[in-house]
């Protein structure tokens, strides 16, 4: 959800970064649209449809974190600390507070929650006011650590960074295998919630170390596709077997740090980055050109992704609950019945478009852009 400001001076706009952010926000919406079919566990066709779509979108949050690490960490350690925090944290903190207030009022006046207005000030410090806003808390913490992390990363050899990533992977992804499926909790098992910034910090580092990695060979690209499909299959069927064994939906393989999700996230990041790698080339006549520069429309959408994330949960419920006088949901599009396997992506696409349009408009109004997008 960040953009590399240093690239603006050379007029290079990273197509792969914009594409990854757009893919990631669509994955978030697919995840939220399909989640309602997972509980209770039934093993029915509807459950399988929700499981497949949800499993195939679990990389959404890791992609956001990896792109942020790729674009942010190199420069974070080189800029004055207060300047970095003022620019980066303010850009997410002000819209976060504004949308938290909107969702707080939405809960009171539309959903009927019994919340006195003064609770806003305590809730904002103790819990996300709406379910999807947990991501912003995590992002703020990573941004606060970015200057120190960037300074460290710019001074150490890459092998030391990989050792940190290896420790993160062991601690966040491997130890939980003992703790949950094997029901053997070690003294070193992590004791924190699934959305902890520390749980996801490895993706921040992975984005940094993989920002220049790419493959142009057909075997390399095919290998990335194969690895992604293996991770996806592991998530889909692992979730089914663990849920069937437990007699209820079991989210172990859905965790953003599970091995299968790590595999999907890293392979998809590298695949998109390799195919759409933005670079400068010099033609035979000496003219310098930019290959795979991000077009203006994708730049606009990419910059708007943060706003789309903030608003999409509201748009989802407005459409699903018919606040506009019509209903669009998983199986209904303006009165037309849809099979679930088609309805989920149609519903998600509609949410994406109707979330993007107001954000694009808001971004054209300077005062509103500073507050809401």
* pLDDT given at position 168: 95
**Cα(33)–Cα(347) distance, integer angstroms:** 7
User: What is the average per-residue pLDDT within 160-176?
Assistant: 93
Given a cut of 70, whether residue 6 has pLDDT beyond it is no
Q: What is the pLDDT of residues 13-31, one digit of tens each?
A: 899 999 999 999 999 999 9
Q: How much is the mean pLDDT over the chain?
A: 91
Given a cut of 90, whether residue 71 has pLDDT beyond it is yes
Q: Band of the pLDDT at 173, cuts 50, 70, 90? A: very high
**Cα(58)–Cα(232) distance, integer angstroms:** 9
Q: What is the pLDDT of residues 211-226, one digit of tens each?
A: 999 998 999 999 999 9
**Cα(75)–Cα(146) distance, integer angstroms:** 9
User: What is the average per-residue pLDDT within 81-106?
Assistant: 92
Given a cut of 70, whether residue 347 has pLDDT beyond it is yes
Among 35-39, 208-212, 289-293, the range scoring the smallest mean pLDDT is 289-293
**Cα(164)–Cα(108) distance, integer angstroms:** 44
* pLDDT given at position 9: 39
Given a cut of 80, whether residue 187 has pLDDT beyond it is no
* pLDDT given at position 329: 96
pLDDT-above-90 percentage for the chain: 79
The domain locations on the chain are 9-292
End-to-end CA distance of the chain: 11
Q: Band of the pLDDT at 87, cuts 50, 70, 90? A: confident
Q: Band of the pLDDT at 181, cuts 50, 70, 90? A: low
């Amino acid at each position: 959800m960040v953009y590399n400001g240093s690239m603006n001076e050379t007029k290079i706009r990273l197509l792969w970064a914009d594409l990854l952010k757009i893919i990631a926000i669509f994955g978030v919406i697919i995840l939220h649209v399909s989640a309602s079919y997972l509980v209770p566990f039934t093993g029915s066709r509807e459950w399988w449809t929700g499981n497949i779509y949800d499993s195939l979108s679990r990389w959404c949050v890791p992609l956001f974190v990896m792109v942020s690490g790729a674009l942010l960490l190199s420069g974070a350690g080189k800029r004055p600390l207060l300047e970095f925090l003022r620019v980066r944290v303010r850009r997410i903190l002000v819209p976060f507070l504004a949308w938290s207030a909107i969702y707080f009022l939405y809960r009171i006046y539309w959903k009927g929650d019994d919340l006195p207005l003064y609770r806003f000030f305590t809730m904002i410090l103790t819990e996300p006011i709406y379910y999807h806003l947990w991501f912003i808390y995590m992002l703020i913490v990573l941004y606060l650590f970015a200057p120190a992390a960037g300074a460290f990363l710019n001074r150490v050899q890459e092998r030391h960074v990989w050792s940190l990533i290896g420790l993160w992977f062991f601690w966040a992804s491997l130890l939980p295998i003992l703790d949950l499926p094997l029901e053997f909790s070690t003294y070193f098992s992590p004791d924190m919630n699934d959305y902890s910034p520390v749980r996801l910090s490895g993706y921040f580092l992975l984005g940094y170390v993989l920002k220049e990695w790419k493959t142009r060979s057909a075997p390399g690209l095919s290998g990335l596709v194969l690895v992604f499909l293996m991770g996806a299959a592991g998530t889909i069927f692992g979730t089914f077997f663990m849920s069937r064994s437990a007699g209820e939906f079991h989210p172990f393989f859905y965790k953003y740090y599970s091995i299968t999700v790590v595999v999907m996230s890293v392979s998809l990041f590298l695949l998109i980055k390799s195919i759409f790698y933005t670079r400068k080339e010099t033609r035979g006549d000496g003219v310098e050109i930019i290959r795979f520069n991000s077009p203006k429309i994708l730049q606009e959408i990419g910059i708007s992704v943060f706003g789309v994330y903030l608003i999409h949960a509201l748009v989802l419920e407005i459409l699903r609950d018919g606040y506009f006088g019509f209903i669009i949901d998983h199986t209904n599009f303006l009165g037309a019945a849809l099979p679930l396997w088609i309805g989920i992506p149609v519903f998600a696409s509609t949410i994406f478009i109707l979330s993007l349009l107001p954000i694009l408009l808001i971004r054209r109004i300077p005062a509103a852009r500073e507050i809401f997008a």
